[in-house]
A and B are shown apart, each in its own frame.
Chain A
Amino acid sequence: MFSIENILNSFHKWLGSMLNQTNVMLIEMALIAFFAITLFAILGLVLVYLERKVSAFIQIRKGPNRVGPFGIFQTTADTLKLIVKESFMPDKVDKFLYQLAPFIVMITAMLLLAPIPFARGVQIWNINIGVFYVTAVSSLSVIGILMAGWASSNKYSLLGAMRSGAQIVSYELSAGMAILSIIVLTGSLNLQDIIASQENGWWIFKGHIPALVAFVIYIIAVTAETNRAPFDLAEAESELTGGFHTEYAGMRFALFFLAEYINIFIVCAIGATLFFGGWMPFHIGNWQAFNHVMDFIPSSIWFFGKTFFLILLIMWFRWTFPRLRVDQLLNLEWKYLLPISMLNLLVMTLIAIKGWHF
């Protein structure tokens, strides 16, 4: 059957028939780098357009509608503008850190792309601790943000960066707890195993109420981790004139902007993989006929459909809820999300031991 997995495998065989193993590896690595950069560019354009349309519809406006049909080339035009713009650097910044920071944030986002299964058998790096890798590497982005805030030698930037640090360190806990409750059910950190365990139904349906609670906590925590409204204290344009990227302009600013959207995509992809089965089609238990019908929809469409559903959910949050104060933000994490997710993890462990899940 025609599938991305078969194309990739036959391409790998074709390369192997012509070159030795080292060259095949080098060529494939170059192709993957090209693929990652292309995916980043396309995702950035699509997500920014989507965000502007969603915000417009929620605020009863029209959104971008001039450049191309329905304004679909608006974000392309904006990107071209940012590329040709002067990347202005203020006088008193720490020049090395200032120039390094956007790339740290971007490289972190790129590293996170490695273990994500895009479709059946399509994964850049099948690593046996995939979930652990994602949670560990995603916390590196705070270093880039702190670096940007510190190097700008601007009080607003520093305030934003410090807020971002407090926020990411706090919310990583409950995001980790929510992820753990799915790990308890599957007993594996490998993303392929997690998907394979959802062959007969997604965990959000199989795991009863605790899975639902874990999903809600996960979505709240990753919204905070990606610095998006209602948790966008790090950039808070109305208080801090842009927070950690106040002093950035041109393409360096665009890299921060792009990394934010790529991070959203990645956390939504991980969420879709853990709770909605990644590329696994919608299966119900032993209904063979129904499951076969669902299998006809390609696995990549399932994966991107679920991911974009979660992205839409996070965008919906952004344009509905007002921004939290710093004390409210930390109260929410330490007094509500963390105790609830700990209790939830206990209940989930009980379910997993007793085998009450489907």
Chain B
Amino acid sequence: MSFLSNYIKEVYGAVSSLLIGMKRTGYYLTHNKEVITEEYPEFRAKMADRFRGEVVMTHDAQNEHACTGCSACELACPNGTIKILNKFDITPEGKKKKAIDSFVYHLELCTMCNLCIVACPTDAIKMSQNFEHSVYDRRLLTKQLNFPGSKLREGVE
């Protein structure tokens, strides 16, 4: 008889546990006010601060950045995302001074590994939280990060 009582217990346990599950989903089915859907185009989620969207260069109000053109980020990058093109300014004293001409960033190659940000000695670049990267032409994914006409901030070196 113990077989039969076990059998009945099993059936009872199965049915009651299924009913517990159905009660929960039935509650959600009838209480559809508390939806967690964030409707995308009207509502854009604020990404977390540590989210890595793309590399940007920080510029201050005087259009000055902190990049010395040392190429540490270019060396740190595992897949050749960053290319730094340097130029040489002539200072009033007649000395040659190294400065960046353009900081080329290939977004299509970037894996958002954060190594360039860690490698940067002057904290000139950082990760932004922008996640909408789609463009109609892939050439648009190659970006120049230093703004036109920007120059090195005094006292960074």
Contact between chains at B21 and A62 (CB < 8 Å): no
A340 contacts the other chain (CB 8 A): yes
Instruction: Spot the interface stretch: B28-36, B55-63, B129-137.
Output: B28-36
B154 contacts the other chain (CB 8 A): no
A322 to B42, CA, bound (A): 34
Q: Which residues of A sit under 8 angstroms from B22, Cβ to Cβ?
A: 316-317, 320
Closest to A313 in B: B22
A61 to B24, CA, bound (A): 15
With contact pairs A316-B22, A316-B26 given, residues A62 and B11 touching in the complex (Cβ less than 8 Å): no
Closest to B27 in A: A58
Contact between chains at B11 and A59 (CB < 8 Å): no
Contact between chains at A60 and B25 (CB < 8 Å): no
A54 contacts the other chain (CB 8 A): yes
Contact between chains at B11 and A336 (CB < 8 Å): yes
Contact between chains at B35 and A61 (CB < 8 Å): yes
With contact pairs A336-B11, A340-B11 given, residues A320 and B36 touching in the complex (Cβ less than 8 Å): no
Q: Which residues of B sit under 8 angstroms from A317, Cβ to Cβ?
A: 22
Q: Which residues of A sit under 8 angstroms from B93, Cβ to Cβ?
A: none
In this complex, how many residues of chain B approach chain A with their Cβ under 8 Å: the count is: 15
B39 contacts the other chain (CB 8 A): yes
Specify which of B21, B29, B39 is in contact with A57 (CB 8 Å cutoff). B29
A337 to B29, CA, bound (A): 28
Produce 1/0 per residue, A295-322, CB < 8 A to B: 0000000000000000000001101110
With contact pairs A316-B22, A321-B18 given, residues A61 and B29 touching in the complex (Cβ less than 8 Å): no
B37 contacts the other chain (CB 8 A): yes
Closest to B21 in A: A320
Contact between chains at A60 and B21 (CB < 8 Å): no
Contact between chains at B37 and A320 (CB < 8 Å): no
Q: Which residues of B sit under 8 angstroms from A320, Cβ to Cβ?
A: 18, 21-22, 24-25
Contact between chains at A59 and B21 (CB < 8 Å): no
| SS of B interface (majority) | helix
Q: Which residues of B sit under 8 angstroms from A336, Cβ to Cβ?
A: 11
Specify which of A57, A319, A321, A340 is in contact with B32 (CB 8 Å cutoff). A57
Contact between chains at A58 and B25 (CB < 8 Å): yes
Contact between chains at A60 and B11 (CB < 8 Å): no
Contact between chains at A321 and B37 (CB < 8 Å): no
A58 to B22, CA, bound (A): 10
A65 to B34, CA, bound (A): 16
Closest to B32 in A: A57
Closest to B15 in A: A216
A57 to B27, CA, bound (A): 10
Q: Which residues of A sit under 8 angstroms from B35, Cβ to Cβ?
A: 60-62
Closest to B26 in A: A316
Contact between chains at B29 and A316 (CB < 8 Å): yes
Query: What is the distance, in angstroms, from B35's C-beta to the closest C-beta of chain A?
Result: 5
Query: What is the distance, in angstroms, from B48's C-beta to the closest C-beta of chain A?
Result: 22
CB-CB nearest 4 A-B residue pairs: A57-B32, A320-B25, A62-B37, A58-B25
A-B contact pairs, 24 of them (CB 8 A): A54-B29, A57-B28, A57-B29, A57-B32, A58-B25, A58-B29, A59-B28, A60-B28, A60-B32, A60-B34, A60-B37, A61-B35, A61-B36, A61-B37, A62-B37, A62-B39, A316-B22, A316-B25, A316-B26, A319-B25, A320-B18, A320-B25, A321-B21, A336-B11
Report A's interface with B, CB cutoff 8 A.
54, 57-62, 65, 316-317, 319-321, 336, 340
Other A-B pairs, 7, CB within 8 Å; known A60-B37, A319-B25, A321-B21: A57-B29, A59-B28, A60-B32, A61-B36, A316-B25, A316-B26, A320-B24
